[in-house]
Amino acid sequence: MKFIIMLGILFLALDAGAQMHGVVYGVQKQEKSALYGAKIKVLNAGGGVITNEQGEFELILPKELPDTLVFSAMGYAPDTMVVTKKDRFAIVEVILYSEQLLPEVVVSIKKNTTSISRLKTLHVEEISSGELRKAACCNLSESFETNASVDVNITDAVSGAKRIQMMGLDGVYTQLQFENIPFLNGLESSFGLNSMPGTWIKSIQITKGTGTVVNGYESMAGLINLELQKPEDMDVFYLNTYANRMGRSELNVHSGIALGKKWSTGVFGHASTHPIEMDWNKDGFRDMPNGTNLSFLNRYKYSGEHMEAQFGISAYSDERIGGQISAIRNSGDFYNVSLNAKNISAFAKTGFFMKKPGHSVGVVYHYKHQEQNSVFGLRNYSGTEDRAYVNAIYDGYIGTTIHKFKVGASMVVNNIEQRIDTLNDDRFQLVPGVFGEYTYTGARISAVLGIRGDHHNLYGYKVTPRAHLKFILDEFTDLRLTGGKGWRVPNYMIDNNSLLATSRVWVAPDTVIPEESWNLGGSLVREFKLFGQKSTLSMDYYYTYFENQLIVDRDQDLQKIVFKNIQGVSFSNSFQAEWSFTVLKRLDVRLAYKYLDVRSRFGNLLQQRVMVPKNRGFINLGYVTRNKRWQFDLTCSLYGKARLPVVQLDSTHTSTDNTSEVYALLNGQVSYKLKRIELYVGGENLTNYTQKNPIISSGTPFDNYFNATRIWAPVYGINVYAGLRYTIEKKNKQL
């Protein structure tokens, strides 16, 4: 860490180029809005940039000044600005006005489908809807197949459940949100990834390390925020159909409707089914459960002169049946797996503009009711949760927009009732909190400093400080440093629900206390030219230290799963390097390497966490033809060896294969686009690699040695799929 800080100071002392930051707005019918895709061209020196979804841009000024910048956007009159040496590192605001008499102009731009935002102080990786379309992407668990930062792993061989991992840590340490509203927490955390179709998502922002205090105290390893399709920008009609060789089929639809000048609504629907029973490895168990999933979302937006409001309601039902195949069920006693989840939630966001420009008040509201029931053989889980959340934020600046601040208060009310066999863990939680955050945006340095205090009705006061710094070393290089604290109250039952797929006895913790961790790290992002095209190299390192952690110890007793609190001996080291570049204009390449050292005290020894490979490689290739009708994508993920838990095979033998194999997963897709229709075909696990004998004692599932949780690779082999996307676009849709 000291080396990184000294390196930053050294670079800052050098004579570097300059960046201009700014925002481009458009005015139509007296309404002002940020322009996405506006072009900024340097007239004499050549080159230029385009604005992002917030209308922001970052431009490298030429060495020879003065020069002229030309701002243009489709449907707006262009404007110019003369820049001199005094404008180096300036922050500007540009307003373009509607020009109805302009002749029609066709603007063609290329926007990377995944990128690291250089405009943000925090290290934020942005995944666009274009990236999501590179894979089948039928639900959130499949939305990260072409991403190296987030891992999605199967938790067991019978339920089909998947969990997110970031920096080698379980997904419970990553805060998930949709548009800054808490999502997939509590009882949803084990099986909720299937409830969000990927086609509903407009973009995903991934933040490593602790997030900002405005979003809460639970971000310990990172934050994933989902931006859904917005009613005012949505297509008039969108339909996606999908089917694969495993018998799974899906239908996704959404539509955006204008309800006058100020109101708009979006309607989303999803249905999936998997009726075909499969047992490719002939172990007598279904390779994946059968069942249906239904999801619905209806959201509204109001845009007024002095306020904006969004609100909506969503619901989903997920029912699955797994376990032993029908032939065995008809012969007598059988091992049954059933999962049943139901959720209904409502959300609202209101924003009020103050008389003083740049000052506003926003309030976020959210309520959900969740029911979760599961059966694994003779073992049962049942739980219900009611959760209410409100977060009020005052946003403004001091003197100039260089100095911004946010202050606010939040409240969480959570009631959970749950039971596993003879164990129960009911709790009522009331957590009010206050926070403050200061943002400095200078020419070369920016900082976000925040602190929040929360009072938990069971565990008292908790203070959460966080700091994020960004240094512009030169016009091509950014250095970021981050540090902060996070905490959460663990739920050992739902967090580890898939571990019911074993005969081992659960030993509950003596008491449940909050998990607390510190996260320190940084990243270096460098842009340069390669083959005449833009290339980006990023490297990041994060260290997470747990003051207290509730661990799952599978090594202490081979007949038991022991949950216990560990203090001061759990940590994670995460390093990732990623290089993206373009070859021959239309061939995009991304290469990544990730090293994970995640250790704690298991079986009274400091050991690597099970099922976490220390080394992982990643390659993604994307090619688009000149007419943009054909698109080819290929992703290869290489997994290194991982420590596996020792298991009892019978009364006298234990496992000897306690390290996983090195293996590769290969996914590919080909898309063909017509005017309104896009056809796609693809394959997953094209190497047909599967884990041998994923279920221990599958022939006698009710004995003391049955175990379906020792999963480190795919359970089923190659999967081929095909689908169709049909779109009726909104007329005069803004870029």
Look at residue 143 in the predicted model and tell me its pLDDT: 85
The residue among 89, 73, 75 whose CA lies nearest residue 41 is: 73
Contact (CB, 8 A) for 246 and 280: no
The Cα–Cα gap between 644 and 169 comes to: 16
The contacts of residue 488 (CB under 8 Å, 6+ apart) are: 172, 173, 217, 218, 220, 514, 515
Q: CB–CB of 287/248 below 8 Å?
A: no
- For 15-19, 410-414, 586-590, which range has the lowest pLDDT when averaged over its residues? 15-19
**11-20 per-position pLDDT tens digit:** 333 334 457 8
Residues 6+ apart with CB under 8 A from 265: 231, 256, 257, 259, 298, 299, 300, 301
> C-alpha dihedral over 700, 703, 709, 714, to 10 degrees?
-10
Residue 575 to residues 182, 324, 392, 597, Cα–Cα distance (Å): 27, 41, 36, 9
User: Average of pLDDT values for 192-210?
Assistant: 89
pLDDT at 446: 94
Average pLDDT over residues 556-562: 93
Q: What is the pLDDT of residue 137?
A: 66
Confidence check: pLDDT of 653 > 60: yes
Q: Can you give the C-alpha Rg of the chain in angstroms?
A: 26
Q: Which two tokens stand for residue 237?
A: 């009609």
pLDDT in tens, 243-270: 999 899 999 999 999 998 899 999 999 9
pLDDT at 286 over 50: yes
pLDDT for position 4: 39
Report the pLDDT value the prediction gives residue 104, as an integer from 0 to 100: 46
Indicate the pLDDT class of residue 78, thresholds 50, 70 and 90: confident
Query: Is 608's pLDDT higher than 60?
Result: yes
Amino acid 10: pLDDT: 36
CA-based nearest residue to 209, from 174, 257, 254: 174
Give pLDDT tens digits for 314-335: 999 999 999 999 989 887 789 9
Distance CA 224, CA 52 (A): 19
Q: In the chain, what percentage of residues exceed pLDDT 70? A: 94
- pLDDT, average across residues 153-172: 91
pLDDT at residue 47 is higher than 80: no
Looking at residue 610, its pLDDT comes to: 95
Beta bridge partner(s), residue 86: none
> DSSP character for 305?
S
- pLDDT, one tens digit per residue, over 461-505 is 999 999 999 999 988 899 999 999 999 999 999 999 999 999 999
Please report the DSSP string for 237-281 in residue order: EEEEEEEETTS-EEEEEEEEEE-SSSEEEEEEEEEEEE-----TT
| Cα atoms found within 13 Å of the Cα of residue 649, Cβ hemisphere only | 9
d(CA 690, CA 693): 9
CA distance 18 to 444: 9
Instruction: Please report the pLDDT score of residue 114 as a whole number.
Output: 78
* CA–CA gap between residue 722 and residue 328 (Å, rounded): 32
Q: What is the mean pLDDT of the chain?
A: 89
pLDDT, mean of residues 79-102: 75
Q: Residue 429, SS3?
A: strand
Residue with more model confidence, 730 or 649: 649
For the chain, which domains are there? 2-97 (2.60.40.10), 114-728 (2.40.170.20)
How high is the pLDDT of residue 526? 94
Residue range 333-369, pLDDT digits in tens: 899 999 999 999 999 999 998 888 888 999 999 999 9
